[in-house]
Amino acid sequence: MTMTMPTLGFCVALAAVAGVAGVHAQQQPGAKPDHMQHRFDDPAKFAKSFDDPARDGWQMPARVIDALGLKGGMAVADIGAGTGYFSMRLAKVSPALTVYAVDIEPAMVDHLKHRAAGEQLANVIPTLAAASSPKLPKPVDVVLIVDTYHHVGDRVAYFRNLRQSLTPSGRVAIVDFRKDAPDGPPAEFRFTVEQIEAEMKAAGYQLEARHDFLPRQHFLIFR
Ligand SMILES: C[S@@+](CC[C@H](N)C(=O)[O-])C[C@H]1O[C@@H](n2cnc3c(N)ncnc32)[C@H](O)[C@@H]1O
């Protein structure tokens, strides 16, 4: 399998640990993997890149969150929350916002619990997911999925099932790396807008908004 080695930055730790053997899919032998499988079971290590203050310059979290149009009383799910870079910022929009910080790694969920408690954010609900389902306890108004879309396998089925966890006007916001980003996952796990749109359409969604202000990532909102 071809691997591109990213330059210094966000995905260095990720690519170094993933290696050739770490990137595979639960598919037929010989089939091209449809997602990048990788463990994120060491929150302290990943926090160094995920929560690096230098990330704010290209991740622009305030602008991303502003574009989501959140209001108190809404529920939002940050799927693939990692160490909580977005979850904690989302929770600070309003104490009346419920933020499900969803991850498949038990160690990340523990980290999210400690971080939310430390930052006194009672509206963050760390939630342990399965790879095929976020296991949300109730439908949410917005799903945000940052740098995690490429880690989800069988995405059409995943997002089709996710519709039952959305309110009738619910939206799904996807932020993921462009092909030409200086940093990020290997080339085969960077998708074009057309690829993402085709998968989401097959899962039953329509593109509602496309934001082009992020220098490294697509930012697409589906309904
Ligand atoms: C590259 S990290 C991104 C973390 C965070 N969104 C950020 O931007 O800092 C991907 C995270 O998604 C989680 N993840 C991978 N597959 C997932 C799935 N199917 N459902 C929920 N979380 C998943 C991983 O455990 C990891 O914490």
Mutate which of 24, 60, 150, 151 for ligand 1? The one with the most ligand atoms within 8 Å of its CB, which is: 151
Note whether residue 186 is domain-resident: yes
Q: How many Å apart are CA 123 and CA 99, to the nearest integer? A: 6
pLDDT score for 39: 85
Note whether residue 36 is domain-resident: yes
Note whether residue 7 is domain-resident: no
Q: Which domain CATH number covers 88?
A: 3.40.50.150
Structural domain including 42 reads 12-222
Which DSSP symbol is given to 133? B
- Pick the closest to residue 152 from 31, 38, 47, 5 (CA basis): 38
How far from 139 is each of 32, 34, 114, CA to CA, in Å? 33, 27, 25
pLDDT score for 161: 98
Output the six-digit token pair for 137.
Answer: 């306890």
Note whether residue 5 is domain-resident: no
Instruction: Give the residue, by CA position, lying nearest to ligand 1 atom 27.
Output: 82
Contacts of 36 (CB under 8 A, 6+ apart): 18, 23, 150, 151, 185, 186, 189
Residue 84 backbone phi and psi in degrees, to 5: 100, 15
Q: Has residue 7 got a pLDDT over 50?
A: no
Model confidence at 31, in pLDDT bands (50, 70, 90)?
confident
Residue list, ligand 1 pocket, CB within 6 Å: 40, 50, 79-82, 85-86, 102-105, 108, 129, 131, 146-148, 151-152
Output the six-digit token pair for 20.
Answer: 């050739």
Model confidence at 2, in pLDDT bands (50, 70, 90)?
very low
pLDDT score for 21: 28
Q: Is the dihedral of CA 204, 187, 79, 154 positive or negative?
A: positive
Residues written for the chain:
223
**How many domains is the chain partitioned into structurally?**
1
